[in-house]
Structure 1
Amino acid sequence: MPSGLATLLALAAAPASFAGSATPPKPLRSYQHLWTDAQGISHIARCPVSNFFLKSMSPPAGPQWQDPMPPRTATMMMTVQPAHWNGAWHPDPRPQWIVPLKGRWWVRAMDGTRVEMGPGDILFGEDQNVQPMRDGPYKGKKGHDAGNVGDGEVTLLVIQSDAAPVTNQPCRYH
């Protein structure tokens, strides 16, 4: 079963080594998944990440909790959104992991769900297969809306995957 790149990013919050002979408890982390349903509407779900195993990434370094994804080609970039940045309504250009490094930003799905994220939070944006809303407060909009929280700029780590987007599978990485 595939597991999440989100987990690899979450390892920053997990202990890199431990003292003593007892195995530390298995961690539980989470990410936000911006996903598209079969009708082309975007949603945001909070998803658990729990398929960790304890192993050294490079002996003799101590063991750390890992939950790797199958290898893919990806583009990594750092972005800096200027103060008061407004993302307007748009779908993500491709499936992508977004990790805020500095500042806070928000994302709102077509179903009205809105989340705010700060340093260390993780979002998997997979809303490429959306269709414009036919009615309601977001009529004609598609994808998601986003913007900065507060008066500062926001720095994000973005990892764009070459994988095709998947529809109607919230929380598919765990």
Structure 2
Amino acid sequence: MKYLWPLPLLLAFLAAAALTQAAEKPPEKPLRSYQHLWTDENGVSHIARCPVSNFFLKSMSPPAGPQWQNPMAPQTATLMMTVQPRHWNGAWHPDPKPQWIIPLKGRWWVRAMDGTRVEMGPGDILFGEDQDVHPMADGPYKGKKGHDAGNVGDDEVTLLVIQSANPPEINKPCRYH
């Protein structure tokens, strides 16, 4: 004799089985990225898009659920928020220190000495490490050093800046994974 399940009971059973299977399968490891403004051995700045993938799943404070983490080595840093006025122009300059820059509001752009230009908005990340640059000897950026930057559009831009006390490293694009 065949047994026929009532449709609502069958759907509930299938949903419970799917939830059980999903609970047993660990979530997929995330892949994120940041822009790295770095300096080569000739003192020229470049921008590279760098993957961040060394995440592990752990609770930051039990009983909170686990979340993907990728901590950096401990270091001394200064945390600040900056607001660039409307139509701000950064002109050519090196970053004062190695620093993480995260736009919170508005959009801004950065151009390296090699001509690479990126635009960033809320949630994007840039690691500025162009302290050891030298003025360009020729080309369209002759005499310029570091990077050029400015706001996109007519709004002010709010940035979260984390300046590291660690010295910059030369010729190491994408050194944080």
Query: How far apart are residue 53 of structure 1 and its match?
Result: 0.2
How many Å apart are 1:131 and its aligned residue? Answer: 0.2
For the pair 1:136 / 2:139, whether they are aligned, the reply is yes
Q: Which ranges of 4 or more aligned residues in structure 1 deviate by more than 2 Å? A: 19-22
Runs of 5+ unmatched residues, structure 2? 1-21
Residue 107 of structure 1 aligns to a residue in which SS? Answer: strand
Q: Which amino acid aligns with 2:46?
A: H
Q: Which residue of 2 aligns with 1:8?
A: none
3-state SS, counterpart of residue 20 of structure 1 = helix
Letter of the 2:93 partner, please give it.
H
* 1:50 paired to 2:53: yes
Structure 2 matches for 1:89-128, cutoff 5 A?
A: 89-128=92-131
Question: In structure 2, what is the Cα distance between the partners aligned to 1:63 and 1:22?
Answer: 14
Partner of 2:10: none
Name whichever structure is richer in helix by fraction. Answer: 2
Shift of 1:23: 1.2
Q: Give the match's secondary structure for 1:61.
A: coil
CA distance in 2, matches of 1:21, 1:159: 38
Report the AA paired with residue 110 of structure 2. V
Q: In structure 2, what is the Cα distance between the partners aligned to 1:22 and 1:125?
A: 38
2:29 equivalent in structure 1: 26
Q: Deviations over 1:6-51 (max 9, x none)?
A: xxxxxxxxxxxxx834211000000000000000000000000000
TM-score using structure 1 length: 0.89
- Cα distance in structure 2, aligned partners of 1:90 and 1:62: 43
Letter in 2 for 1:126: E
Task: Report the counterpart of residue 164 of structure 1 in structure 2.
Answer: 167
User: Following TM superposition, by how much is the alpha carbon of 1:75 offset from its aligned partner in structure 2, in angstroms?
Assistant: 0.1
Name the % identity.
Answer: 84
Query: TM-score, normalized by length of structure 2?
Result: 0.87
